[in-house]
Amino acid sequence: MTRRENPRRRAVLDVLRAAPSPLGVAETAERMGVHPNTVRFHLDALVAEGLVERRAEPSPGPGRPRAVYFVRPGMDRGGLRDYRLLARMLLSRWASADPAAAREEARQTGRTWGGLLVQPPPSGERTAGRSMAALVALLDELGFAPQAEGADGPGGPPRRIRLRHCPFLELAEEHGKLVCPLHLGLMQGALARLDAPLTATGLEPFAEPDSCVAHLAEADAA
């Protein structure tokens, strides 16, 4: 169970935030009406998550210093994220533009990012095979579950890459006319950065029920 889903841990945070000064375990437990061991468990977890800090205060009498807790200043980084909503908002803005211009801008944006996500090869290693391997590795890292196929003869570079997973599937279903050109541009930009003799010439969205297919050709012939 995550902290966001744990109402008791949220309650501990709320009690610490409302207190005018740091609280010990017993004080926190008293304010919550629960056993100190329960509070201690959640406090230790919150310290481990970096949301709460613990420090020792001198004891007013004989004995060891007392441990007290307070909420670390700053925004709560353990809360809900909804980047999909942000992406939908941005895509809807893009989609309201001229369709052809929006698709081209999406592709160019993909090209820019594709070039940023790969490292150029050492001198003398500009081969179709190495370039394809680097592109497939990038797509795999991004979560596309790529599979190169369709080589022209033994040792020839593959002519297609089958993408069995889309890390932006729901967005592609809603805004495919933008998301798919973005993916195509990403592959084109990566291959250009790799100085590859290949380029991606097209992307068939949902070419089969379980995959999309990217097509490649010699860069000079594209």
Alpha-carbon distance of 178 to 127, in angstroms, equals 31
Looking at residue 146, its pLDDT comes to 96
Question: Does 4 have pLDDT greater than 50?
Answer: no
Looking at residue 139, its pLDDT comes to 96
Cβ-Cβ contacts under 8 Å for 202 (sequence gap 6 or more): 184, 214, 215
Q: How much of the chain, in percent, has pLDDT values that exceed 70?
A: 90
Looking at residue 7, its pLDDT comes to 84
Looking at every residue in the chain, the average pLDDT score rounds to: 87
The better pLDDT of the pair 150, 13 is held by 13
Looking at residue 70, its pLDDT comes to 94
48-78 pLDDT, tens digit per residue, is 988 899 999 887 667 788 899 999 887 666 6
CA 101 to chain centre: 27
Phi, psi of 149 (to 5 degrees): -160, 170
Question: Does 158 have pLDDT greater than 90?
Answer: no
The better pLDDT of the pair 145, 77 is held by 145
Looking at residue 124, its pLDDT comes to 63
Residue 66: which H helix or E strand, with range? strand 66-71
Question: Does 140 have pLDDT greater than 50?
Answer: yes
